[in-house]
Amino acid sequence: MKRQQVVEGLLAQKRRAPRECGEAFAPSNIALCKYWGKRNAELNLPVNSSLSISLGNLGTRTVVRFAEASDRILLNQQPAPRDFAARLSAYLDLFRPAGQFFDVCTENNIPTAAGLASSASGFAALSLALDRLMGWELAREELSILARLGSGSATRSLYHGFVVWHAGQRSDGMDSVAEPLLGAWSDLRIGILSVSSDRKSVGSTEGMNRTRETSELYHSWHKQAACDFDALRTAIASRDFPMLGQTAENNALAMHATMLSAWPPLCYWLPDSLAAMQAVWRARAEGLELYFTMDAGPNLKLLFLQADEAAVCARFPSVRVVNPWGGHA
Ligand code: PMV
């Protein structure tokens, strides 16, 4: 099944009432149980279900309009880099009425230096903005399918708070959708600990494919992910912070273990990443309830409770603290 067929199927019965402009915000998200491995690369269908937490008002705001001669894509008020613009234009091709172009202004309020991926919030905001421009009035769940076609982790950026992305089983991916877990955990905090904001040399798609094809440890990954997914849901339902932190940290390290055992080996860590991990382990040994998670990059995302914020900031002066439920844009 091709991406175009999925889009046509989804939009077949929808009304079209185009407006002058469509505008939307979508939050960035951090996975606590990671998406790592595609069962279908074209549709970004995952091997395992994943679970994330959205970053409140940190994310992407996008405005889309129709344009005449060619696509015009601005990123943070500047013409977007060529690869970024090409990726967006290829995505817009899926929705393009014949002979029509788009004017896209996209702004990230995630500091680039934080080393946080903006493709998740970017494709979620673009899907929402297109829905408003075209007047489709798709349900959020349907929009999570459209966002997934841009980037897997974007599936989860359609909602605030805790979000699950069901792997699904269908080959067309119509059951591979996101769903919010209701209820705020208002004293939970995320600390962004930036080690480097350099572009990674191996993108997540290539990393996933290499791992899936060559790592012996990948065989156990989907089993661990399934257990972690259930444990995280239990931890969230019972507000069990140690269970949440342990499960998230172990899940991230297990994902990185599959990369280290791939061939050629894949290691996103820098010496400072390891130093930060060791500092977290030391803090925990000294009684601080502090955990971390990491994605396909060198930066850490710390997990802790509000009561420990001062202690965490004292140990990690450069940390940027995010309250996931603190004022949604
Ligand atoms: O959405 P992508 O293709 O950038 O992949 C994201 C993969 C991880 O960030 C490592 C894990 C996740 O679930 O977000």
31: CA distance to ligand 1 center in Å?
8
Mean pLDDT, rounded, for 248-255: 98
pLDDT of residue 329: 44
Q: Which atom of ligand 1 sits closest to the CA of residue 165? A: 13
Q: Is the CB of 28 under 6 A from ligand 1?
A: no
Provide the Cα torsion 230, 233, 239, 245; round to 10°.
60
| pLDDT tens-place string over residues 85-109 | 999 999 999 999 888 999 999 999 9
Distance in angstroms (rounded) separating the CA atoms of residues 216 and 232? 25
pLDDT of residue 20: 95
Q: Is the CB of 35 under 6 A from ligand 1?
A: yes
18: CA distance to ligand 1 center in Å?
32
Percent of the chain with pLDDT over 70: 98
- Give the CA angle between residues 226, 171, 128 to the nearest 5°: 85
Contact present, 144 and 153 (Cβ < 8 Å): no
154: CA distance to ligand 1 center in Å?
9
Residue carrying structure tokens 């960035």 = 28
Mean pLDDT, rounded, for 108-132: 87
Residue 117's Cβ-side half-sphere holds a number of Cα atoms within 13 Å equal to: 22
pLDDT of residue 226: 98
Q: Which atom of ligand 1 sits closest to the CA of residue 151? A: 1
Least confident of 14-18, 44-48, 152-156, 198-202: 198-202
| pLDDT tens-place string over residues 33-84 | 999 999 999 999 999 999 999 999 999 999 999 998 999 999 999 999 999 9
Mean pLDDT, rounded, for 240-252: 98
CB within 8 Å of 234: residues ≥ 6 apart: 240, 243
Mutate to test the pocket of ligand 1, among 28, 34, 228 (most ligand atoms within 8 A of CB): 34
| pLDDT tens-place string over residues 254-281 | 999 999 999 999 999 999 999 999 999 9
Q: Please report, as a single letter, which amino acid is at residue 215.
A: S
293: CA distance to ligand 1 center in Å?
12
Q: Is the CB of 31 under 6 A from ligand 1?
A: yes
Q: Which atom of ligand 1 sits closest to the CA of residue 295? A: 10
50: CA distance to ligand 1 center in Å?
10
Cα distances (angstroms) measured from residue 314 to each of 114, 301, 311, 317, 319: 19, 16, 5, 6, 9
pLDDT of residue 198: 81
Q: Is the CB of 29 under 6 A from ligand 1?
A: no
pLDDT of residue 114: 62
Mean pLDDT, rounded, of the chain: 95
pLDDT of residue 214: 98
Q: Which atom of ligand 1 sits closest to the CA of residue 205? A: 3
pLDDT of residue 11: 95
Tell how far CA 208 is from the center of its chain. Answer: 15
| pLDDT tens-place string over residues 135-166 | 999 999 999 999 999 999 999 999 999 999 99
Q: Is the CB of 147 under 6 A from ligand 1?
A: no
Residue 196's Cβ-side half-sphere holds a number of Cα atoms within 13 Å equal to: 15
Contact present, 88 and 103 (Cβ < 8 Å): no
